Amino acid sequence: MTDSASILVVDDEEVMRDVLQTLLTQAGYVVSVAEDGHKGLALARKQAFDAAVVDVMLPEMGGLEVLEELKKIDSDLVVLMITAFASVETAITAMKKGAFDYVTKPFKHEEVLHILRNAIHQRRLQDENRQLRTALRDQGRFTEIVGKSPKMQGVFALIGQAAPSRSTILVVGESGTGKELVAKAIHSNSPRVDKPFVVVNSGSLPHDLLESNLFGHVKGAFTGAVYAKKGLFELADKGTLFFDEIGNIPMETQAKLLRVMQEREFMRLGGVDVIKVDVRIVAATNVDLRRAVEDGRFREDLFYRLNVIAVQLPPLRQRKEDVPALVAHFIDKYSSENGKAVHGVTPAAMQVLMDYDYPGNVRELENLIERGVVLTTSSEIDRGLIPDHVKASPSFHVPHLTVPPEGISLKDVIASFERRLIETTLDTTRGVQKDAARLLGLKPTTLNEMIKRHNILLPREKDRRPGKEELEETAAKPTPA
């Protein structure tokens, strides 16, 4: 089955062109013919072919030269060379230049068809494998990093540019923003994707154990070293070594790490043999390394060695527009893990999630959704399943203001914001002034005075206000004489 594969025939003999065109067309191929190399190349530049049949002896531009130019246009193009003059040297030259096979005139029709069938099948398998690898890589590219906000799109773009390089990358962000996920995405989109991705928990070990983990040790290097052990640098050879929270590495270890990064070699603890490694470093930190350098807690030379390309991850509070997508992602994840059919959150729950500031960032939101999925008895997570501290912590931000040419009253702006802040807090505490005062850091008496000054209705008073129908009914009643 050819699946309408396209074949280019380049031969200066009209009879041979007709024979090949008839043969290949009857076999189900789409055939284009050219009488010389220049015309054949012109056709190849206009459209893609699955294979080409090229005569070695062509006028002006020889068949071997045409072969070279065709491979420049499409390096994967299947090219079958045909000649009336059998020559071992010519055959070897053609194969070296990228020909798939070589036949001599007069040839058997079935021989040509057999070679082309095998060649096209092989090419399509290569294409499918390449597309599959690309699709799998793209599919796994940022699957765990969810975000359509401009800030996250900038992060994705930077990862896409930096990942294929050999450069060291520093990922900066608060705890819970997904720094390790970014490191994995960098590795997955690099030429090292098939090699190890090794994580170093920089701050969890004292410096002697950390160095043993990083560089390994020989037998007898220290008490308890009863056998030789490879370090993480050796295990990560040809791959990526990710230093999580690199700002916590002791100064003694920083010097050794700097040398390995510069020289790409090290010795195991207690050893004398130099071990060479090819490791790409991706480091992450939630602290200001520049400040750490100023405070003498981090080596300046190591900082500059790490800070080649910096990826800044925004906290979740700065990209609230990503919350709904993250919620959907985590609901899918934990519904599948727990065998539950949870499809979303109620509007009231979503409003709470949008209002919260997430000091724990994406990790905190993930924990909230996992809890909700486990505890819900319906297909949605309701507001009641969200912890009280989240519901009682609305997000208060001064809105972005533009001062008009005619000016603006600062007093009126402050009063308006103050009123809305109090109303929002009272709604959160369901009108309980004592709780609202605590959230706002005010005395209850002070808050009560502000409520009266702004003429704010408590939630229960709002519920007692007459509705539209009541007002219309009252207006319709005749006024007593």
Which residue type is seen at 34?
A
**What pLDDT is attached to residue 300?**
95
Question: In angstroms, what CA-CA distances link 48 with 97, 150, 421?
Answer: 20, 37, 64
Distance (Å, whole) CA 380 – CA 341: 9
What does the CA dihedral 250, 252, 256, 261 come to, rounded to 10 degrees? 40
Residues with Cβ within 8 Å of 453's Cβ and at least 6 positions away in sequence, in order, are none
User: Over the stretch 287-322, which tens digit does the pLDDT of each residue have?
Assistant: 889 999 999 999 999 999 999 999 999 999 999 999
**What pLDDT is attached to residue 163?**
92
The pTM of this model reads 0.55
How many other β-carbons are positioned within 10 Å of the β-carbon of residue 9?
28
**What pLDDT is attached to residue 145?**
82
Q: What averages of pLDDT result for each successive group of 10 residues across the chain (481 residues)?
A: 77 91 92 94 90 90 92 88 73 82 85 88 71 48 75 91 93 92 92 92 74 86 79 92 91 91 90 90 93 92 94 93 92 93 90 90 95 94 90 57 71 83 81 84 88 81 49 48 41
How many other β-carbons are positioned within 10 Å of the β-carbon of residue 460?
9
Pairing mode, strands 309-312 and 169-172: parallel
DSSP 314-337: PPGGG-GGGHHHHHHHHHHHHHHH
Q: How far is CA 249 from the centre of its chain?
A: 27
Q: Domains plus CATH for the chain? A: 6-135 (3.40.50.2300), 150-312 (3.40.50.300), 328-391 (1.10.8.60), 398-481 (1.10.10.60)
* Nearest in space to 283 (alpha carbons), one of 254, 316, 259: 254
